[in-house]
Structure 1
Amino acid sequence: MIMLHKVHVVTDANFASDPDRKSQSGFITLFNNNVVSWGSVKQKVVSLSTAQSEYIAVTEGLKSGICFSNMLNEFNLDSSYIELSGDIIASLHLAAHKSNHQNTKHIDIKLHFVRDLVASRSVKLSYVNTKDNISDMPTKILDGSTFRHLKNLIMDEKEEREI
């Protein structure tokens, strides 16, 4: 029996958070519900919408997930797809649907590689509620109770897996 390993990437962005109005991207990559990498990076362009900012964060997070998935393949550990979660439905819609709507023409074409991965079924998209988005940890300044809540979400997943 072949065991498939789960690679899950959770992404978020902090839209126009810096004085220069560049957004902050954040992601957490999990392998079988264990955090294996995380990152936070200032975006190189000024996003014109929350959806664009989140879509850029999706792209950054997915690059990490692909890198980790490729490493698993080198060790002959199969992962059939990468699960990608975000809390902005518009960015997930951009990733899943080919539409050249007037409001999205400003989004750079290089970001649409996410669409190709979704279309080839290498990536599956899912929504995560904003209050439960663990990728807020590397993205935003959090109050103590929010940080503890998100930390507990990660820890609870590990406890459930070990039982």
Structure 2
Amino acid sequence: MFNNNVVSWGSVKQKVVTLSTAESEYISVTEGLKSAICFSNLLKNLASNSTFIELSGDNLASLILASHKSNHQASKHIDIKYHFIRNLVAKVVVKVTYVSTKQNISDMLTKVIDGSSLRHLKKLIMNPKEEC
């Protein structure tokens, strides 16, 4: 999102097999970051004053993987190409933040949700600055 407007959205089947939800979400966050970097570079060329990219996710384990450089038992097998996010977080180019499942507007396009949740998420898209 840019200025509370959706500029890009995508859904792609992952090309790798993962061993946990956290690993799958970590790979998704990294793939999303690639698009965000492209948009950020475009904005810089248009003289925007953006200082960092904020990347939100609803899986705390994947956000912790993105924020910590240590290689431990749970992440040592993950392909190195997915770890470049850690360098960008360390350089404060990227800020990873948690978004609760109830506030995650992407869920309306990726998960089966009930009618009241769908209405709530639609309201968030239409009025992103309002608390719903």
TM over 0.5: yes
Q: Aligned with 2:34: secondary structure? A: helix
The one-letter amino acid paired with 1:61 is G
2:57 to 86, 93, 96: 86
Q: Give distance in 2, aligned partners of 1:42 and 1:143.
A: 24
Q: What are the within-5 Å matches in structure 2 for residues 49-88 of structure 1? A: 49-88=20-59
Structure 1 residue 141: deviation in Å?
3.2
**TM-score scaled by length of structure 1:** 0.75
Q: Give distance in 2, aligned partners of 1:77 and 1:141.
A: 37
Percent identity between matched residues is 71
Determine which structure has the larger strand proportion and give its number.
Answer: 1
- Structure 1: runs of 5+ lacking an equivalent: 1-29
**TM-score scaled by length of structure 2:** 0.91
- Structure 2: runs of 5+ lacking an equivalent: none
The one-letter amino acid paired with 2:86 is R
Misfit runs of 4+, over 6 Å: none
Q: Aligned with 2:8: secondary structure? A: strand
User: What is the match of residue 111 of structure 2?
Assistant: 140
Is 1:153–2:124 an aligned residue pair? yes
Q: Give distance in 2, aligned partners of 1:93 and 1:158.
A: 27
User: What is the match of residue 91 of structure 2?
Assistant: 120
User: What is the match of residue 129 of structure 1?
Assistant: 100
Is 1:104–2:75 an aligned residue pair? yes
Structure 1 residue 45: deviation in Å?
0.9
Residues 50/98 of structure 1: CA separation in 2 closer, same or farther (3 Å cut): same
